[in-house]
Amino acid sequence: MSDVATMLMALSAAVMKADGKVLKAELDYVKSFFSQQFGNQFTSQHLKVLKQFLDTKDIPLDKICNDIRTRMPSEVRVQLVHYMFGIAKADGDVAESEFNVIQNIAQKLGVSQTDFESLKNMFYRDVNSDYKILGVDASATDDQIKKAYRKMAIAHHPDKVASMGEEYQKGAQEKFMKIQEAYENIKKKRGFK
C-alpha cells in the first residue's frame, strides 16, 4: 500500500467503523477532506477503496502507520490525528470506541502524548480543557502558561504545513485558533495580560 490517499482511506475506515456504525455525516466529512486535499485526483475509485476497507475485518494499522511515520513529518502526523477526531466528531459525538482507535493510531504514528491530549481536548471539553490544550496543569504559574502557549503556537503554526494541501492548512488553522482560544480563556479566568 504505497500511495498516501489509500493509507488515509484505511485510517479513515478504521475510525468510521470503530463504533459499529458508519454514518453519512462521517462519510461526508471524509469526502469533503479528500476533495479539498486531492482536488480532481480524488475520484470514485478512492471511495471504492474506502468501501473495501470498511468491509474488511482487519486493517493493517501497524504497517500503514509505520509507513506514514517514515514519510511524513511530525506536524503532518498531528494534523492526521486532528482529521481523525474530526471524522469521529462528525456525528456530534466521539464514542469511546472511536477514541480508543484514534489513540491507538496516534501512538503508532508517533504522535506525542502531549500533542494527543491537546487534540483530544479540542473535541472533548472539561473544566481543565484549556490547560490541557496548552499541555500544562491547572496549577501552572502564569509564566509557565505564557511559555507553554508560545511553545504550542510555534509548534502548531499553520505555516508548518504550508507545503501540504489546503485541507491540512485548514486543519492547522483550526488547531492554532483553538490554542489561541484556550490561552485567551485562561488569561480571562486568571486576569493576566
Under CATH, what is the fold of the domain 1-111? TerB-like (1.10.3680)
**What's the number of CA atoms in the CB half-sphere (13 Å) around residue 59?**
26
Reported as type and span, the H/E element at residue 61 is helix 61-71
Domain range summary for the chain, segments of one domain joined by +: 1-111, 112-193
The Cα 45–Cα 183 span in angstroms is 43
Q: Does the structure show a pLDDT above 80 at 31?
A: yes
Residue type, 167: E
What angle, 0 to 180 degrees and rounded to 10, lies between the N-to-C axes of helices 74-89 and 4-16?
40
Contacts of 28 (CB under 8 A, 6+ apart): 90
Range with the lowest mean pLDDT among 6-15, 18-27, 87-96, 177-186? 87-96
Cα atoms in the 13 Å half-sphere on the side-chain side of 149: 21
The three grid cell numbers given for residue 3, joined into one nine-digit string: 500511495
Cβ atoms within 10 Å of 178's Cβ, excluding its own: 21
- Phi/psi of residue 50, each to 5°? -60, -45
* pLDDT at residue 15 tops 70: yes
For residues 119 and 135, the answer to whether their CB atoms sit within 8 Å is: no
Q: What is the mean pLDDT of residues 175-191?
A: 90
Q: How far is CA 111 from CA 74, 103, 146, in A?
A: 7, 9, 23
> What's the grid cell of residue 148?
507553554
Residue 107 has pLDDT above 80, yes or no: yes
Dihedral (C-alpha) 86, 17, 33, 128: value to the nearest 10 degrees?
A: 10
How confident is the model over 36-61, as pLDDT tens digits? Answer: 877 777 778 888 999 999 999 899 99
The answer on pLDDT for 2 being more than 60 is no
CB half-sphere exposure, 78, CA atoms < 13 A: 27
Please give the grid coordinates belonging to residue 35.
476533495
* Residues sharing a CB contact under 8 Å with residue 88, sequence separation 6 or more, in sequence order: 15, 18, 26, 94, 95, 98, 99, 102, 123
pTM summary value: 0.75
Tell me the percentage of the chain whose pLDDT exceeds 90. 47
Residue 105 reports pLDDT greater than 90: yes
Task: Give domain 112-193's CATH superfamily.
Answer: DnaJ domain (1.10.287.110)
